Amino acid sequence: MATITPIRLVALPKELPESAIRNHVMDPPNVRNIKLAEVVESREIRLRIPIAPKKFKATPRVDLGAMGLAIHTLLKDIVVGYMLEVRKNGTLVHVGIWNWAQTPADASQGWTDDTRMHVASVSKFLTAVGVVKALKSKNISYDAKILDYLPDYWSKGSKINQITFRHLMTHTSGFATNSSSSDYAFMKGRVAAGVPSVGSYDYENMNFGLCRILLPILLGKISKSAQFLSDPGLNDKAWDAVTLYHFRNYMQQNVFTPAGVPNVGFAPTASTKNAFAYPFPWANKDGWNSGDLQTVAGGAGFRLSTEELLNVMNQVRRKNTIIPAADAQYMLDNYFGIDQKIDTPAGKIYNKNGGWGTGDGKTEQCVAYFLPDNMELALFVNSPIGTQNFSLRGIVKDTFVNSLTD
């Protein structure tokens, strides 16, 4: 008679008792049917900003006063509110503030530099920083295959064995889901389905959602052969909750804390000011609290203020406290977690934008720019830009170029 070897279950972290696993929801209603920011440049709705041709005697610099005024003039009548900060070498050099983070229909709260908002897909850049740091710490190449760091119990479809970390961080993995989804069950199913080819660009939240599964395995926090609970459905929940737990801890300890940013999470907290999302025009309607976004972490989910985001950008770009500055520049030049690299007369500018909204127009969006002359910019807006929702990153780019001067 054959002997059946009992399954050896792995203990859950003490912070995650089985009762928490049973109550964990992998696909809560607030992360379904989300409208994302447009990332394909040809499909962006650009606000028409005439750009006057200029000739410069030498490499020009940006007139921040002119740029800030131009942004304000363009936005003030077509958004609910915004918060803009620009720093140079980590020092604040420009601030722009307009109107409501929460309107009188909610808490009558104006924008401040410590008002947190869901930064949506700007989370991808932050996750990419964490991935780069983790790979470097283990002496693993960006071109290492992700197959070795996926859970053993996941089925792996066609060509999954060809996907690398570089593919994930540049949206060239071959996943093409036409969906904003990146919850655990969705990603598990897509990996099982496989991809038709690897190497073509398609912007997918799950590229970075997978990173939050891969990192705890790569770092040795979880064995890829682990089984937490004997019930398959509960085991999926446990894998989701445990990888989230380790991912958040890793990002806090290795990305946010070195930048002086405490307690970064995926849900609004009572200890911080929080922006709500509105339609435009807002017509005295209640705002939208987008809620706990932990189950889409990696590609979205982080909540930061402009001050906190710029703290991270400063540390990443030049301080060598999170990753070496040379690695940060490599990330930018190779599109790790960013959207655009644009040539201007002043030099290259790099951006990552994010947008997250409901079907009825309530929108939270932001853009992070790395500018020449050691400057970084963060701009948060808690509504669409006008009734057409003009491109936020396009407004920043065009006003930057128009504000260049000798």
- The residues, ordered by sequence, that sit 6+ positions from 257 with a Cβ below 8 Å of its Cβ are none
Phi, psi (degrees; rounded to nearest 5) at 331: -55, -50
Residues 273-304 pLDDT 10s? 999 999 999 999 999 999 999 999 999 999 99
Protein fold of 41-113+271-405: Beta-lactamase (3.40.710)
Tokens of 369: 């720019």
| Distance separating alpha carbons of residues 358 and 365, to the nearest angstrom | 12
| Distance separating alpha carbons of residues 81 and 385, to the nearest angstrom | 10
What confidence score (pLDDT) does residue 5 get? Answer: 45
Half-sphere exposure of 198 (CA within 13 A, CB side): 19
| Distance separating alpha carbons of residues 255 and 250, to the nearest angstrom | 8
Residue 349's CB is within 10 A of a number of other CB atoms, namely 23
Cα angle value 356/151/129 (rounded, 5°): 45
Tokens of 103: 């309107």
Nearest to 237 by CA among 22, 28, 31, 19: 22
Domain boundaries, the chain: 41-113+271-405
Residues 381-400 pLDDT 10s? 999 999 999 999 999 999 99
What confidence score (pLDDT) does residue 4 get? Answer: 44
- Is-contact 195 157, C-beta < 8 A? yes
3-state helix, strand, coil in the chain (%, to 5): 35, 20, 45
| Distance separating alpha carbons of residues 268 and 274, to the nearest angstrom | 6
Tokens of 324: 């070496």
The SS3 assignment for 99 reads strand
Residues 21-52 pLDDT 10s? 999 999 999 999 898 888 888 899 999 998 88
What confidence score (pLDDT) does residue 8 get? Answer: 74
What confidence score (pLDDT) does residue 245 get? Answer: 98
Residues of the chain with pLDDT under 50: 1-5
In whole angstroms, what separates CA 146 from the centre of its chain?
Answer: 20
What confidence score (pLDDT) does residue 7 get? Answer: 62
- pTM of the model as a whole: 0.97
| Distance separating alpha carbons of residues 113 and 120, to the nearest angstrom | 18
What confidence score (pLDDT) does residue 1 get? Answer: 45
β-strands 340-344, 347-357 pairing: antiparallel
Nearest to 366 by CA among 258, 277, 296, 271: 277
Per the DSSP assignment, residues forming a β-bridge with 160 are none
| Distance separating alpha carbons of residues 385 and 60, to the nearest angstrom | 29
| Distance separating alpha carbons of residues 276 and 28, to the nearest angstrom | 19
Tokens of 81: 């509110």
